[in-house]
């Protein structure tokens, strides 16, 4: 299959540090290449890929301080994609709604995976203009703010199976991974750990917008005994950080669209203690791959009981549901359905209009 992948321009693909969307785009792309597809990746020129790379700008924008250009620089990239649409059997976009306006002008079908939260009122007029474009969600929960869209499937993120190695434990500390921000509730993770009397390590970046939160809410807690702040870590440090942990603390308080950190932990055999927000009840199975609880006391109890969840079953859950292989298989089905529907001249997704997909 001749496949165009359209990536965001903000982080390198794959990202050097933080960047969930760009990592997933990388995993999909490389797995499709591995399977023998003819894949072209439209992305910043520093992307590392075995696909054909079509550069939209020399370097990913965040680390060169030009992220405000991301939206505008997508226009020439979209021109490049859609003016050469006949060279592809399917176009797979990862840049929110940006492909929607171009897709109708070409014969090649486009599917767009939504990577972000969709509960932003101001963007509703944009989405509602394009109700028939085929969309993939990364959790069913992610769809809730936009039920009227043409959701053709939920495809969970997946990681290369050998990216992170299984660690049989026992874990030594609780781990917090990702971003220090109010909606991720690192404060709650620390308070739960402290109450349970278990050490906690935080490996997370602090964005400029979250600096005041870090200074006022998190910094004082870092002085507590058993609390250690490591800063932003890279992919190679992640395996050790997660593998040696007793549990990943995913004490979020926002509609997390997917939550890559959860499946990274599972790949290491590390269970997750999580609040049931966003994708959590879909990604985790209570007692099998983690413990889900909402309130402080229940979270403390979960942390104390976490060794009731087997590390082997966590890794097994990862191997069965969250590898790049599983993810790519689902996308292959979706591509195939789209191409067939377009060839038959029918609405490419009439069969999916109940909002669920054959690909699950």
The closest alpha carbon to 178, from 249, 255, 98, 282, belongs to: 249
Q: Given candidates 57, 159, 175, 249, which one binds a second copy under the rule CB under 8 A?
A: 57
* Residue 179: HSE in the Cβ half-sphere, 13 Å Cα cutoff: 17
Q: Which is nearer to a second copy, 83 or 87 (CB)?
A: 83
Q: In angstroms, give the least distance from the CB of 122 to a second copy.
A: 6
Q: Given candidates 64, 71, 144, 358, which one binds a second copy under the rule CB under 8 A?
A: 71
Per the listing, tokens 């997704």 go with 349
Does 162 sit near a second copy (CB under 8 A)?
no
143 token code pair: 């769809």
Does 102 sit near a second copy (CB under 8 A)?
yes
307 token code pair: 């060794």
Does 106 sit near a second copy (CB under 8 A)?
yes
Residues 121-150 that bind a second copy (CB under 8 A): 122-123, 125-126, 129-130
Does 100 sit near a second copy (CB under 8 A)?
yes
Of 23-31, 95-103, 152-160, 216-224, the segment contacting a second copy by CB under 8 A is 95-103
Helix H, strand E, coil C: the string for the chain is CEEEEECCCCCCCCCCCCCHHHHHHHHHHHHHHHCCCEEEEEECCCCCCCCEEEECCCCCCCCCCCHHHHHHHHHHHHHHHHHCHHHCCEEEECCCCCCCCCHHHCCCCEEEECCCCCCCHHHHHHHHHCCCCEEEECCCHHHCCCCCCEEEEECCCCECCCCCCCCCCCCCEEEEEEECCHHHCHHHHHHHHHHHCCCEEEEEECCHHHHHHHHHHHHHHHCCCCEEECCCCCHHHHHHHHHCEEEEEECCCCCCCCCHHHHHHHHCCCCEEECCCCCHHHHCCECCCEEECCCHHHHHHHHHCHHHCCHHHHHHHHHHHCEHHHHHHHHHHHHHHHHHHHHCCCCCCHHHCCCCCCCC
Q: Which is nearer to a second copy, 209 or 223 (CB)?
A: 209
Does 104 sit near a second copy (CB under 8 A)?
yes
The mark string for 176-205 relative to a second copy (x by CB under 8 A, - otherwise) is: ------------------------------
Q: Which is nearer to a second copy, 69 or 217 (CB)?
A: 69
How many residues sit close enough to a second copy to count as binding (CB under 8 A)?
A: 26
Of 100-108, 237-245, 267-275, 283-291, the segment contacting a second copy by CB under 8 A is 100-108
Of 101-109, 135-143, 160-168, 175-183, the segment contacting a second copy by CB under 8 A is 101-109
Does 105 sit near a second copy (CB under 8 A)?
yes
Q: In angstroms, give the least distance from the CB of 249 to a second copy.
A: 34
Does 220 sit near a second copy (CB under 8 A)?
no
Q: Given candidates 98, 258, 318, 331, which one binds a second copy under the rule CB under 8 A?
A: 98
Does 214 sit near a second copy (CB under 8 A)?
no
Does 76 sit near a second copy (CB under 8 A)?
yes
Of 110-118, 119-127, 162-170, 324-332, the segment contacting a second copy by CB under 8 A is 119-127
Q: Given candidates 48, 79, 340, 346, which one binds a second copy under the rule CB under 8 A?
A: 79
Q: Which is nearer to a second copy, 72 or 147 (CB)?
A: 72
Does 101 sit near a second copy (CB under 8 A)?
yes
Of 99-107, 162-170, 292-300, 312-320, the segment contacting a second copy by CB under 8 A is 99-107
Q: Which long-range contacts (CB under 8 A, 24 or more apart) does 47-56 make?
A: 47/7, 47/12, 47/13, 48/12, 48/13, 48/14, 49/13, 51/5, 54/80, 56/9, 56/80
Binding site residues, a second copy, CB under 8 A:
57, 66, 69, 71-73, 75-76, 78-79, 82-83, 97-98, 100-102, 104-106, 122-123, 125-126, 129-130
């Amino acid at each position: 299959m001749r496949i165009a992948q359209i990536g965001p321009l903000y982080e390198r693909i794959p990202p050097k540090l933080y960047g969930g969307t760009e990592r997933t785009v990388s995993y999909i792309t490389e797995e499709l290449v591995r399977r023998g597809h003819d894949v072209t990746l439209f992305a910043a020129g520093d992307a590392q890929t075995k696909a054909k790379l079509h550069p939209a700008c020399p370097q990913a924008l965040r680390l060169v301080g030009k992220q405000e250009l991301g939206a505008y620089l997508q226009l020439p990239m979209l021109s490049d994609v859609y003016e050469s649409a006949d060279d592809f059997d399917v176009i797979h976009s990862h840049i929110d709604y940006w492909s929607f306006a171009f897709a109708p002008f070409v014969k090649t079908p486009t599917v767009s995976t939504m990577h972000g939260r969709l509960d932003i009122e101001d963007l509703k007029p944009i989405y509602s203009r394009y109700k028939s474009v085929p969309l993939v969600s990364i959790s069913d929960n992610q769809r809730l703010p936009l039920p009227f869209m043409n959701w053709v499937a939920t495809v969970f993120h997946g990681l290369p199976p050998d990216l992170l190695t299984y660690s049989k434990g026992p874990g030594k500390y609780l781990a917090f991974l990702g971003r220090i921000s109010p909606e991720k509730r690192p404060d709650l993770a620390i308070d739960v750990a402290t109450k349970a009397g278990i050490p906690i390590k935080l490996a997370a970046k602090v964005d400029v917008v979250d600096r005041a939160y870090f200074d006022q809410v998190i910094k004082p807690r870092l002085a507590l005994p058993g609390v250690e702040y490591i800063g932003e870590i890279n992919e190679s440090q992640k395996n050790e950080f997660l593998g040696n942990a007793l549990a990943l603390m995913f004490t979020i308080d926002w509609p997390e669209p997917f939550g890559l950190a959860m499946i990274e932990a599972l790949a290491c055999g590390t269970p997750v203690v999580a609040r049931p927000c966003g994708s959590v009840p879909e990604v985790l199975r209570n007692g099998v791959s983690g413990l889900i609880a909402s309130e402080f006391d229940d979270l403390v109890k979960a942390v104390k009981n976490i060794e009731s969840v087997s590390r082997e079953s966590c890794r097994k859950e990862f191997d069965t549901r969250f590898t790049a292989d599983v993810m790519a298989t689902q996308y292959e089905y979706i591509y195939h359905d789209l191409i067939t529907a377009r060839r038959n001249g029918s609405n490419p997704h009439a069969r999916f209009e109940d909002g669920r997909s054959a690909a699950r």
